[in-house]
Structure 1
Amino acid sequence: MRARSNGPAASEKRANRLYAAGAVLLAILPLAMVLANRSSPAVIGLAALAFLVGRFFEDRRTLAPRLLAPLGTPLGLAALGFLAWCLVSFAWTPFPGAALRLLGEFLPTLIAAYLLTCLAPGRIPAFAPRLAAGAIVLAGLIIAIDLASDLALERALGRRIAAFVHNRPALTLDLVAGPVALVLWRARARGLAFATLAFGALGVLRSISGAAQLGLLAGAGLFALTRLLPMRVGIGLAGIGLGLAVALAPVEGDLLAKLMPEAAHERLVQSSSRARVAIARSFGAAVAADPWRGAGFGTSARFAETPVAGTVAPEMRVLLRVGHPHNSFLQAWAELGLPGALLGALVLMLMLGRVAALKQPDRAAALGLIACAAAIAFVEHNGWAAWWTAGLGAAITWMREAATPHAATIPKMDGPA
């Protein structure tokens, strides 16, 4: 009779298989987004589940402390405070059902991203960064070739024929290419690291997403400055940029309307810059009408129907129907008011404090990621979008992997992880 496989050895094998499965899912995320641009929440959710169960098999006693410890730090407490205020705003939101549905998409993805960033680093197999590089190279090539061939791939798949279908994949490439390249650089696969950056940039630059291209420029620029200048300069620039993004969001539209020359609008005609300025002015007017608590979490999609919209000048109400203000910082102000903006700013500043403690090149790469994400958030998308949260979770996981010592073997089951 065959002996039953049990004990530490069997648990180690199960954990290793789960880590491999989770790492494959994490690695193929950019390619999955090209093939299905709403897929990242499911991919990240399954990857997080694999690492969660793997860590349970590895050492269940340390699993809860590993997950709870970051929440007790100043950064963790500030983030929980921000989420708590989102929930408090349900007390006055005029659309609790819609807000609950949005929370039902955002919160599970946020939890999955948190689990992944806590549990995957240090347990990602050596093959995974190379697989991720291959996925990024393929994703960049597919975006470039499909757009150059008048969306032949979309036609072959029988899907919607519109160039913007590649915007989300391009934004995902923006987030993950740099962190994956850093992991490869640390593994001395430097040619592959450069290929990852090059083909990631190809997909971004070939796409029609001005937000993705702005993110690439901001991320690469701050990375370069941080590598060339003293640490305090890079951290200071990031702090000033994030602080201004939050503080000036309610008056962004008015400032741009006064300062942006007509020639700039002509050059940005494909990005609908005039409409974006008008939208920002409309939402800014709504913030000015009720700056203290906001309209409530998840109200942007129906903001024109909120009570505060009725207090805005009639000419400003029309563009409140667009669904979101194309600026996540302004969205936080409009939905969560001054408390939400202050809590969000606190989270961002405490995050920079953590980044300042990193060594090079991790610090420069982390600041590049922050600049990229902030630039995108300032001009694009719904801040609670699950696909965006999933992409950020994947990028942070790769950043943490670059800085985490990698165990050659899984620790014994009778000791701490």
Structure 2
Amino acid sequence: MVAAGRLYAAGGGLLAVMPLAMVLANRSSPAVVGLAALAFLAGRCLEDAAACREHLLRPLVSALGGTALAFLAWCLVSLSWTPFPASALRVLGEFLPTLAAAYLLAALAPGRIPAFAPRLAAGVIGLAGLLIAGDLASDLALERALGRRVAAFVHNRPALTLDLVAGPVALVLWRRRARGPATAVIALAALGVLRSISGAAQLGLLAGAAMFALARVLPPRIGIGLAGLGLGLAVALAPVEGDLLARIMPEAAHERLVQSSSRARVAIARSFGASVAADPWRGAGVGTSARFAETPVAGTVPPEMRVLLGVGHPHNSFLQVWAELGLPGAVLASLALMLLLARIARLPQPDRAAALGLVAGTAAIAFVEHNGWAAWWTAGLGAAISWMRAASKPGAITGSGMDDSA
């Protein structure tokens, strides 16, 4: 069907260029992913509306899909006690539409991505890495030319996006026996990430690469077990992260990490951890991190711990879940992560190693850096998962973009 093929070409092109869009406008990924998702949705509906519904509904009735829906339902339930419903609705108003677009893309794009898209994505990722490195080396000449704010951190989000998509795109190319472009994608993405000032992006790159290497050489059960242990500890220890680091982190380590504001991060983690200890059962409500210092639970925290509750978020998505959604949110998030690993365990190599690398890199970033509900982050994850799923479908990327086996 010609019309559907054109829509798939548009969607595949948008999916491919998203990393470059982030370099040029570092909040653009939700719009790009949203348009790509709409293109694939329209194409699938034109091709076969009944099959499209099946692709969208089938994952939601699985154990993983049901757990994810339960987590989202708990987020909505928490609106009943949040002290800032307008702020929470603004957060969800950005997060939920982007999450829906990411889901549409991951469910519908694999099997319909046109043949040109992986090589276009490879070129875009390479260009994005070079632009980040070159712009920072030239004292942000690109930002000056574009008339934008001149600050090195503007490339942090693009670098984090490269962390997410480079491995899955390389896997697609590797599956198509394009070994040179696959290697170049990883190398140039790493250049941009390592040249950036984002410690989170660099940590994500190292964690993802290490997990990929281990998963390639270890027996499957051990690789999955290590990932499960890491994710379980990330959730379980999040409320006491600050106290643990305050006790075991030497002063020399803080000196080496002065650019990452490690002392402030430890103090922030201790403050949010104290709030979790004060109300561990239900949390303050979804989307409250931006105004956490004004929540009722903040008033129960020791005075010396309250100041840093006003920083906007705890710089740890696992801790953010605890602080906002309490024990039920943490349990549902943990269950979803374990069910995800069970899915990954069934993948063949090298897909399993690449997927575990993506999980490890994502978890490492989430543990140290950002707001878990950020739309740009959700969009990047949706793009990465779409490429991962495309790689796992034999023959899913074709000249016409049409594959009846999908």
Tell me the CA shift for residue 406 of structure 1.
2.9
Q: Distance in 2 between the 1:400 and 1:64 partners?
A: 18
Pairwise CA distance, 1:249 = 0.1
Counterpart of 1:334 in structure 2 is 323
What is the TM-score with the length of structure 2 in the denominator? 0.98
Match of 1:287 in 2: 276
Identify the match of residue 189 of structure 1 among 178, 199, 206: 178
Q: Match for residue 171 of structure 1?
A: 160
* Residues 62, 416 of structure 1: 8 Å contact kept: no
Cα distance in 2 for partners of 1:80, 1:14 equals 33
How many pairs are equivalent? Answer: 404
Contact 2:315 2:367 in 1 (8 A): yes
In structure 1, what is the equivalent of residue 218 of structure 2? 229
The C-alpha deviation readout for 1:135-172, integer Å capped at 9, x for no partner, is: 00000000000000110111111111110000000000
> What residue number does 2:229 align with?
240
**Pair 1:79 & 2:63 matched:** no
Contact 2:111 2:402 in 1 (8 A): no
Take 1:127 and 1:411, find their aligned partners in 2: how far apart are those partners?
Answer: 13
Contact 1:58/1:411 (<8 A) preserved: no
Shift in CA distance, 403/284, structure 1 to aligned 2, threshold 3 Å: same
Q: 2:298 aligns to what?
A: 309
Q: Are 1:263 and 2:252 an aligned pair? A: yes
Report the Cα distance in structure 1 between the residues aligned to 2:340 and 2:331, rounded to whole angstroms. 14
How far did 1:416 drift?
Answer: 9.1
Contact 1:296 1:335 in 2 (8 A): yes
Partner residue in 2 for 1:54: 43
Q: Letter of the aligned partner of 1:371 in structure 2?
A: A
Corresponding letter in the other structure for 2:170: A
Corresponding letter in the other structure for 1:381:
H
Aligned mates of 1:146, 1:139 — CA distance in 2: 10
Q: Deviations over 1:336-373 (max 9, x none)?
A: 00000000000000000000000000000000000000
The 8 Å contact of residues 215 and 373 in structure 1, kept in 2 or not, is answered as yes
Residues 164-216 of structure 1, C-alpha deviation per residue, up to 9 Å, x if partnerless? 00000000000000000000001111000000000000000000000000000
Q: Which amino acid aligns with 2:331?
A: L
User: Given residue 219 of structure 1, which amino acid in structure 2 is its aligned partner?
Assistant: G
Find the partner of 1:299 among 288, 293, 301.
288
**What amino acid sits opposite 1:390 in the alignment?**
A
Letter of the 1:391 partner, please give it.
Answer: G
Match of 1:18?
Answer: 7
Q: Distance in 2 between matches of 1:406 and 1:361?
A: 16
Q: Distance in 1 between matches of 2:301 and 2:133?
A: 43
What is the alpha-carbon distance in structure 2 between the residues aligned to residue 38 and residue 80 of structure 1? 26
Rounded to whole Å, the distance in 2 between the matches of 1:221 and 1:356 is 18
- Equivalence for 1:45: 34
Deviation at 1:61, TM superposition (A): 1.7
Structure 2: how far apart are the matches of 1:298 and 1:71?
24
Normalising to structure 1: TM-score of the pair? 0.96
Give the structure 2 partner of residue 95 of structure 1.
84
CA contact (8 A) 1:58 1:410 kept: no
Q: Percent identity?
A: 79
1:129 to 118, 122, 137: 118
How many angstroms does 1:65 deviate by? 1.6
Query: How far, CA to CA, are the matches of 1:175 and 1:65 in structure 2?
Result: 28
Contact 1:140 1:201 in 2 (8 A): yes
Q: Does 1:396 align with 2:385?
A: yes
Structure having the higher Rg: 1
Name structure 1 gaps, 5 residues minimum.
Answer: 1-11
Name the CA shift for 1:411/1:122 in 2 (closer, same or farther; >3 Å): closer
C-alpha deviation, 1:405, in angstroms: 2.5
Change (3 A) 1:302 1:57: same
Deviates most, 120-129 or 60-69: 60-69
Equivalent residue letter for 2:211: L
Identify the match of residue 154 of structure 1 among 119, 125, 143. Answer: 143
Distance (whole Å) between structure 2 residues aligned to residue 159 and residue 70 of structure 1: 42
| CA-CA distance at 1:64 after TM superposition | 1.1
Q: Contact between 1:19 and 1:54, CA under 8 Å: does it hold in 2?
A: yes
- Give the equivalent residue in structure 2 for 1:27: 16
CA distance in 2, matches of 1:189, 1:175: 20
Matched with 1:362 is 351
Report deviation, 1:410: 6.9
Counterpart in 2 of 1:406? Answer: 395
1:318 counterpart SS class: helix
Corresponding position of 1:345: 334
Pairwise CA distance, 1:63: 1.4
**Matching residue of 1:4:** none
Counterpart CA distance in 2 for 1:117 and 1:397 is 4
Structure 2 SS opposite 1:28: helix
Contact 2:16 2:118 in 1 (8 A): yes
Change (3 A) 1:238 1:14: same
In structure 2, the residue matched to 1:211 is 200
**Which is further off, 226-235 or 43-52?**
226-235
Give the distance between the partners of 1:166 and 1:237, measured in 2 at CA: 31
What residue in structure 1 maps to residue 102 of structure 2?
113
Q: Is the 8 A contact 2:212 2:357 kept in 1?
A: yes
- In the alignment, the residues of structure 1 paired with residue 53 and residue 90 of structure 2 have an alpha-carbon distance, to the nearest angstrom, of 28
Compared with structure 1, are the counterparts of its residues 402 and 315 closer, same or farther at alpha carbon in structure 2 (3 Å cutoff)? same
